[in-house]
Chains A and B, each alone.
Chain A
Amino acid sequence: MTEYTLFFDASRCSGCMACVVACQDQNDLVTGDTVAFRHVNQHEEGTYPEVRIALHSGSCQHCVDGPCLLACPMQAIWRRPEDGTVLVNRDICVGCHSCELACPVGAPKFTQDGKMAKCDLCYVRRDHGMKPACVRTCTTGALVYGPIKEISEKMREKASIRMLKGLASLSE
């Protein structure tokens, strides 16, 4: 099984919210219902003039050992064997919110019928050879989708370059 994941590069995010809108559009989420399965948090730090804004675009992490899977009393949350995507069987969800208590990133959302819904990593799009809607829409390339192994290698490469640049600036 090749497991897939999303990677978010905070240094590239402009906070344009296009990923959120793409998620709403893809999942037909309407006003008054769940806003989106993806959300962008903006966190301000410091005091004027030393201020900075940190942006974070987040959604379900499709954890390898997801705490929501164990917490669900109906066993409604499961991992797709082909790629590790964590999905919810809404037909049997009772809306008890146990997953909400277990999830460290606040991924479970509840629609007006009281049942849980969340990011499914656009598995229908992916099954047809397309990227998840949020990744396709992200103009700055902050959201990247791919096999966990490939993404991890990219992250390592990026971290190494950052370290080398840091060392180079020290030696100047």
Chain B
Amino acid sequence: MQKNRIIILGNGGAAISAARAARTAGHRGEIHLFSDTTESAFNPMLSPYYFKGKVSWEGCFPFGEDFYRNHEITCHFGIPVANLDATRQQVTLTDGRMFSYDSCLIATGASPVMPPVPGLRESTRALPLRSAASARKLEEAMQTARRVLIMGASLVGIEMAEVLVKRGIAVVLLDIADQILPRSTHLSVAAILMKYLESHGVDVRLGYSMQRMEETKDGVACHFADDVIEEVDFVVCSTGVRSNLGFVNRDKVKVELGVLTDDRMRTNVENLYAAGDASQAFNRVTGQQDWMGTWGNACYQGRTAGQGMAGREAFFPGSLPENISPLFEWNYAQLGDIQPTTGEVRHLACGDPERGGYSLLAFSDGFLTGANLINCTHLAGKLHGAILRKWRCESVIGVADGDFTEAAVEDILDECTASC
């Protein structure tokens, strides 16, 4: 039975999973949880479902307030962490109080990146979507809006476009890249999805960047090149997120996009762990430590860290960047690395989104590295497994993409999913 003091910084999926795992693993000592929020753990991925009316506001806090009491966790809410002294094993809050620890988890999550557009960051009508507070602001803004601009055609941006369209609000969705979902979707798949969005009335503009933004009497004016001005009620910023690590001394703790971790979610500093969106963990496709950012991964990583802090040996086997979401009436999944940069790269596609689904598979030297699936997301879990297992298809090596018939690609897909 461990009786040491565990400190958990953060109050999201990773933090809660860590606290629960530590108790389940037999930790009987103190657990202190620190958060700058004042509510129980909020799940940011549920916000679009709340806007769509699929979950109540209370449902966006899936662990409830009882969790902390039931797991004997001392909460320190509403006060941000000012400094983490990893050498002395001490945490200092912004109100000056200090807490020492035997083991500590950094699970502070991530915050939206607001693009450096003049006038945007100062505006109260430029709204990101991440925290409970930001979801409340967006909900309030949507009540009276008639026209909205979304910056960033990420999955969050597209989900917000769906929410707005379904509420009868006109949407302009723009991205600086020349395709929607530029990070993890193949150009051809992005084109299909874009056409689908447009068929629902979303005004998609690519290769488009805002030059400045100014508030007007009842909205904002967004200025673009060639004197194009878009007047909207507010702007949704879905241009990515950045790990919340302002309190971490980067001379001591290794940080890239997030805190670098090993297969037990340990950092380079003894007794210090990191998990969830604040960390980078093992990506089984690239072999690198990457930011993976899904709720499931965050919870798995948090659980691993919690077990480790309680003295039990546990491992995070690695995963891959991936996401899945319903988009209007369609379902879309993106897995792994869709644009491998090494080896002989092959992209094979088959199917039809409206008839059984459309799949695109990416290979590097015959190894499956990624997949995009429209309306055949039932294959997602099997393909996820195949990518992790480094499933290899000999027949795609040395053959041009165009030499594969639709039936041949279907056979490859069958072979891949049957191997699971």
Contact = CB atoms under 8 A, between A and B. Distances in A.
A102 interface: yes
Contact of B420 (A54, A105, A108): A105
A73 B381 contact: no
Contacts, number: 96
12 contacts: A41-B418, A67-B296, A71-B299, A75-B63, A96-B325, A98-B324, A100-B324, A100-B377, A100-B380, A104-B385, A106-B379, A108-B378
A98 B63 CA distance: 18
B326 interface: yes
Contacts of A74: 46, 55, 59, 62
Contacts of B378: 100, 106, 108-109
Interface string A80-109: 000000000000101111101111111011
A43 interface: yes
A70 B324 contact: no
Closest 3 CB pairs of A and B: A71-B296, A103-B381, A43-B418
A114 interface: yes
Interface of B: 13, 17, 43, 45-46, 49, 54-55, 59, 62-63, 294-296, 299-300, 303, 322-326, 331, 333, 335, 377-382, 384-385, 414-415, 417-418, 420
Contacts of A109: 378
B377 A97 contact: yes
Interface residues of A, number: 27
Contacts of A95: 49, 54, 326
Contacts of B49: 94-96
A73 B46 contact: yes
Contacts of A108: 378, 381
B229 to A, nearest CB: 37
Contacts of B63: 75
Interface of A: 41, 43, 54, 56, 67, 70-71, 73-75, 92, 94-98, 100-106, 108-110, 114
A70 B299 contact: yes
A64 B401 CA distance: 41
Contact of A114 (B303, B326, B380): B326
A94 B296 contact: no
Nearest to B55: A94
Given A70-B299, A104-B381, A97 B62 contact: no
A40 B389 CA distance: 23
B59 A92 contact: yes
Q: Which of A56, A70, A73, A109 has the most CB of B within 10 A?
A: A73
Contacts of A110: 331
A56 to B, nearest CB: 8
A96 B324 CA distance: 7
Contacts of A70: 17, 296, 299-300, 303
Contact of B62 (A56, A75, A100): A75
B293 to A, nearest CB: 13
B62 A102 contact: no
Given A94-B54, A106-B378, A101 B384 contact: yes
Nearest to A76: B62
A68 B72 CA distance: 26
Given A73-B62, A94-B49, A105-B381, 20 more contacts: A54-B418, A73-B46, A75-B63, A92-B55, A94-B55, A95-B326, A96-B45, A96-B324, A97-B326, A98-B295, A98-B324, A100-B378, A101-B322, A101-B323, A103-B381, A104-B385, A105-B420, A106-B417, A108-B378, A109-B378
A114 B330 CA distance: 11
Contact of A97 (B303, B331, B335): B331
A70 B295 CA distance: 8
Nearest to B332: A97
Contact of A73 (B45, B379, B420): B45
A31 B13 CA distance: 38
Contacts of A100: 324, 333, 377-378, 380-381
Contacts of A106: 378-379, 381-382, 417, 420
A102 B45 contact: no
Contacts of B295: 71, 73, 98
A103 B300 CA distance: 14
B67 to A, nearest CB: 10
A110 B380 CA distance: 14
Contacts of B326: 95-97, 114
Contact of B296 (A92, A101, A104, A114): A101
A162 B48 CA distance: 54
A114 B299 CA distance: 24
